[in-house]
Amino acid sequence: MSKKNVKIFLTGHKGLVGSSIFRILKKRGYKNIITIDKKKLNLLDQSKVFKFLKRKKPDIVINAAGKVGGIFANEKYQAEFIYENSVVQSNIIHGSYLAGTKNIIFLGSSCIYPKFAKQPIKEEALLSSALEKTNEAYAIAKIEGVKMCHAYNYQYKTNYKCLMPTNLYGPNDNYHSQNSHFFPALIKKIHHAKKNKIKQIFIWGSGNPKRELMYVDDLAEACIFFMHKKTKHSLINIGSGKEMKIKDYAKFIAKNINYEINFKYDKFKKDGTPRKTLNTSLAKKYGWKAKTSLEIGFKKTYKNFLERFA
């Protein structure tokens, strides 16, 4: 069968990651992409998910559905984060196995690694010491997904791959004032300040934690690249290799939207992990690397932000 005819079930196709994967699959000429709205198939519903997968029998499942958010949401809604992520992914992974689907791309997050992991973080750091408390519930759910894929590969000889992306940004991101990630939150705040001629804004935390950031289309490319690969490893880090302090991202955004502004730091808000940069040498060994610069990625992201909200 031609690569472009494989039957792919993509979950979460309206989200930041899923919509990027969908766009790029279409652009590349993939003809057989299955998506379904949450209203028609809530992935928390085990029997419906199992039936759907048995009926569709996809060759590949890419799971981009999940409950996702920034530091505030991760801490406040930790019960929802652990429950929804573990149930959705268990339904997808076990349902795919029952439907005879041998190939899954499971998406985790760099927060599965210990708070004080040696930098840049290698895949082997998993479970080597304690997690960051604010996102522990989310991380535990994701670790369960990783271990589940590993166990199914071991026992059932499947080819389930877990890609661990770093912080992402791009078109279609979530700009919710409390639940978004740090980068879209900064874009929204600085844009709002410019529009309303506000000359000083507060940034959550000290501004000092370092974050690696990657344009979402680079992750989409990684998903497409690895879905065609049979890999020896089931856990593979996906990152840009580029990191900066949160305060420097704020300065970058202000400069790139041409606005001079002062930043103050709300130190009563938590910082989270001090640094989390991924070691991506394993992905590079397989032949994948990120290619979008922050300047180009930001231009596309801000254009989309203006189209959606201005």
Ligand X SMILES: NC(=O)c1ccc[n+]([C@@H]2O[C@H](COP(=O)([O-])OP(=O)(O)OC[C@H]3O[C@@H](n4cnc5c(N)ncnc54)[C@H](OP(=O)(O)O)[C@@H]3O)[C@@H](O)[C@H]2O)c1
Just list the catalytic residues.
Answer: 138
Give the nearest distance from C-beta 204 to ligand X in angstroms: 16
Residue 21 CA to residue 63 CA, distance in Å, equals 11
Ranges assigned E (strand) in 47-206? 60-63, 103-107, 159-165, 167-169, 200-204
- Residue type (1 letter), 64: A
**Strand 60-63 relative to strand 103-107, pairing:** parallel
Contact flag: residue 137 with ligand X (CB under 6 A): no
Question: In the structure encoding, which two tokens stand for residue 247, read together?
Answer: 């305060």
Site mask, ligand X, residues 291-310, x = CB under 6 A?
--------------------
Indicate if the alpha-carbon torsion angle 286, 139, 69, 272 is positive or negative: negative
Give the nearest distance from C-beta 151 to ligand X in angstroms: 19
Contact flag: residue 190 with ligand X (CB under 6 A): no
187 or 261, CB closer to ligand X?
Answer: 187
101 or 193, CB closer to ligand X?
Answer: 101
Cβ contacts of 154 within 8 Å, gap of 6 or more = none
Residue 292 CA to residue 50 CA, distance in Å, equals 37
43 or 294, CB closer to ligand X?
Answer: 43
14 or 264, CB closer to ligand X?
Answer: 14
Residue 114 CA to residue 9 CA, distance in Å, equals 32
Give the nearest distance from C-beta 38 to ligand X in angstroms: 4
Question: In the structure encoding, which two tokens stand for residue 241, read together?
Answer: 């290799």
20 or 158, CB closer to ligand X?
Answer: 20
Size of the site for ligand X (CB under 6 A): 24
Select the span of 22-30, 73-81, 166-174, 201-209 touching ligand X (CB under 6 A). Answer: 166-174
Give the nearest distance from C-beta 163 to ligand X in angstroms: 9
Question: In the structure encoding, which two tokens stand for residue 239, read together?
Answer: 């990152």
Could you give the 3-state DSSP secondary structure of residue 115?
coil
Q: Which residue is nearest to ligand X (CB)?
A: 15
Contact flag: residue 184 with ligand X (CB under 6 A): no
Question: In the structure encoding, which two tokens stand for residue 198, read together?
Answer: 């506000």
Contact flag: residue 170 with ligand X (CB under 6 A): no
Out of 8, 9, 10, 17, the residue judged to bind ligand X by CB under 6 A: 17
Select the span of 165-173, 194-202, 262-270, 272-280 touching ligand X (CB under 6 A). Answer: 165-173
Question: CB neighbours (10 Å) of residue 140?
Answer: 16
Residue 211 CA to residue 252 CA, distance in Å, equals 14
Residues in touch with ligand X (CB under 6 A): 12, 14-18, 38, 42-44, 64-68, 84, 88, 107, 109, 165, 167-168, 174, 181
